[in-house]
Amino acid sequence: MSQGTEPDPAASPDNAGGWTRQLAPYRSPIPWRARFELAVTAIPFAALFALAWAALSVSPWLSVALSLANAAFVVRLFMIQHDCGHGAFFRDRQWNDRIGRTIGALTLTPYAVWRRNHTMHHATTGNLDRRGTGDIPTLTVAEYRARPLVGRICYRLVRHPAILFGIAPFYSFFLQNRVPAGLMRSGWRYWASALGTDATIFAILATLYLFGGVPVLLFVYLPMMLLAASTGMWLFYVQHQFEETSWESEADWSVQDAAFHGSSHYDLPPVLRWITANIGVHHVHHLASRIPFYRLSEVLRDHDVLAGAQRLTLRESLRCASLTLWDEDGGRLVSFAELPRLAAPAARIEP
């Protein structure tokens, strides 16, 4: 084990709060590593974008193929922005904010707005009484059954994979992010973040159109951003929407237990782990959000309990797309197909 990571008997799956002190040594950013990770993401992103642009003279479909490949670097840029929002990527807060704000124009995400909403997500994840900010719309079985027919149909539509990973990402990144969603009445700072990001995005698109016309926007920019948005939505989904996740009412909820039990360890193949910047190590991220993504592998190396906890493979994760309702009695997410087999509350009342 690394120095300063001796096992803490209080740190266990049954006592998630004990991990706070145990993971503290990993919270220190490494300046050279941060610069390196930024360089190996931004430089290939720019090179692939230029190559996709140049490929228009050969075939627009070659440009689309290169653009789709570049979506991987857009996802990775978003993960760097994510770490900057937690103050984890660089040691200096100002550099975190500068880089995070700059990347936000490339990822269509106003930095200050996202940072505030994401902080609320960390503070409420897994809390049935505080749903609605930064999470996937999730009803309990009882809530779903209590809805009128129209409400149940609407919920089924919202949770359909084609909408959740196709239409919803477009709406979220291309439309909803253009205003300070969730913070409309929270002051000028968030309007400045959203509108400032919008102005920068408009300037980027105008420049692309001025020098490359519609083909650059249609075959180079758009495919890359659409695939990146859908990938981001899937990653966010599978980090909390898996069968053995955790949802509790306010009285029984704690942020540490929700972090450990309600977040997955998405154990991806090495290439995908690199592209997604270790965001799959999400249970550790929620336990200690100030750990830079480039140090999360150290945590798993040093702590077998965390390496094995909440593990979800790529193949296993595909089933998660069908999970739609929280069964409070069973303590697990279930699919619509399982609903008829779940007894209604009235049927379980003892005489």
State the Cα–Cα distance between residues 72 and 308, nearest whole angstrom.
Answer: 27
Q: Nearest Cα to 73, choosing from 101, 97, 37, 116? A: 37
Residue 215 pLDDT > 70: yes
Find all residues with CB under 8 Å of 212, minimum gap 6, and list them.
53, 56, 220
According to DSSP, the β-strands at 323-327 and 332-335 are: antiparallel
**Continuous segment of H or E residues that includes residue 140:** strand 139-140
Helices (H) and strands (E) in the chain, counts: 17, 5
Find all residues with CB under 8 Å of 276, minimum gap 6, and list them.
75, 76, 79, 235, 268
User: What mean pLDDT comes out for the span 193-205?
Assistant: 98
The pLDDT, as a whole number, for residue 21 is: 83
User: What are the structural domain ranges in the chain?
Assistant: 16-348
Q: Nearest Cα to 52, choosing from 219, 226, 225? A: 219
According to DSSP, the β-strands at 311-313 and 323-327 are: unpaired
DSSP string, 38-54: HHHHHHHHHHHHHHHHH
How far, in Å, are 12, 23, 233, 298 from residue 88 at the CA level? 24, 14, 22, 15
State the Cα–Cα distance between residues 191 and 188, nearest whole angstrom.
Answer: 5
The pLDDT, as a whole number, for residue 132 is: 77
Confidence of residue 108 (pLDDT cuts 50, 70, 90): very high
Tens of pLDDT, residues 230-263: 999 999 999 999 999 999 999 999 888 888 889 9
User: What mean pLDDT comes out for the span 114-131?
Assistant: 92
The pLDDT, as a whole number, for residue 2 is: 41
State the Cα–Cα distance between residues 299 and 26, nearest whole angstrom.
Answer: 7
Q: How many residues does the chain have?
A: 351
Tens of pLDDT, residues 258-289: 888 899 999 999 999 999 999 999 999 999 99
CA atoms within 13 A on the CB side of 151: 7
Largest CA distance in the chain: 77
**42: how many CB neighbours lie within 10 A of its CB?**
18
Q: Is the pTM of this model over 0.85?
A: yes
State the Cα–Cα distance between residues 104 and 169, nearest whole angstrom.
Answer: 16
Mean pLDDT taken over the chain: 91
Question: Quick one: how far is CA 156 from the chain centroid?
Answer: 22
